[in-house]
Structure formats: C-alpha cells, structure tokens
Amino acid sequence: MRKLTLSMAEQIISASYAKARELGLKPLTVAVLDAGGHLTALSRQDGSSIMRPQIAQGKAFGALAVGTGTRWLNANAESRPHFVQALNGVAGGGIVPVPGGVLMKDEDGDVVGAVGITGDTSDNDEAAALAGIAAVGLIADCG
C-alpha cells in the first residue's frame, strides 16, 4: 500500500492550481488528507474566502467517510437527505456533501487519502482535484 507523503500532497496542490489556471477558475483552496483523515497539506490561493479551508477539508473528509467521492454524497443528499443529515450528525457536522471531494487509491485499490477542493463550481473543483491526483499517479474515485 502506498502512503501519502507531504511531497505528494504538495504535488497534488501544485497540479490542482495549474489546472485551475488552465481553466481560468476562481481562487481555490485545496485540502489533502491521509487515509486516516489527518490533514497532510492545506493551501489557499490569494482571494479565497474565509470558510474555504473548512469546506475543502469537509469535502475530503466526506469522501473518506463513505469510501467514495462526494459526488455520491451529493446524489444521496438529494435522494436520501435523512441519511446524509444523520451521517453528518455523527461526523460532528464535518462533512460537506457536494462534488469536489475525491478519494485517492493506489494501484491495488487501497485508500491512500482524499483531496477536497473548493472555490469555484463543484464540477470545476472536482476537475482540479482529478488533475492533482493524476499528477502523483494515484487513482481517483469521484463517486
């Protein structure tokens, strides 16, 4: 099983920002969590609003909590809101159930961590996360 390192997290952030520049996105905040849900790296672009770190971490944490990307959580928030509300309750309100939280797996399918990005539309946040994850050779699971 591959372990997430600080160097990998920094590469994920850098590649995510490069994708944001390519797409002309608004200022992003990127949180990279390890498989245990611990913050490995967090970065805010100039101009990011004040709650962005918590939102980015909540997206990444949500992906880890359910074992898939937050696109799945978003769909369930619409179809089974009671489930997502209860899940967020037991998580102490720490889950943000919208796209932009992407689970990272190694080639054996083991969870390595998750990336949460916020600042633009959820789809654009997710696109930046996918670019970051690809840059370190891990497999992305959007849900």
Domain ranges in the chain are 6-141
What does the alpha-carbon distance between residue 73 and residue 142 come to, in Å, rounded to a whole number?
10
Residuewise pLDDT in 10s, the chain (143 residues)? 789 999 999 999 999 999 999 999 999 999 999 999 999 999 999 999 999 999 999 999 999 999 999 999 999 999 999 999 999 999 999 999 999 999 999 999 999 999 999 999 999 999 999 999 999 999 999 98
CA end-to-end span of the chain, whole Å?
Answer: 21
Model's pTM, two decimal places?
A: 0.97
Q: What are the φ/ψ torsions at residue 115 (nearest 5 degrees)?
A: -115, 135
CATH architecture designation of domain 6-141: 2-Layer Sandwich (3.30)
H or E element in which residue 116 lies: strand 111-118
Contact by Cβ (8 Å): 123, 101: no
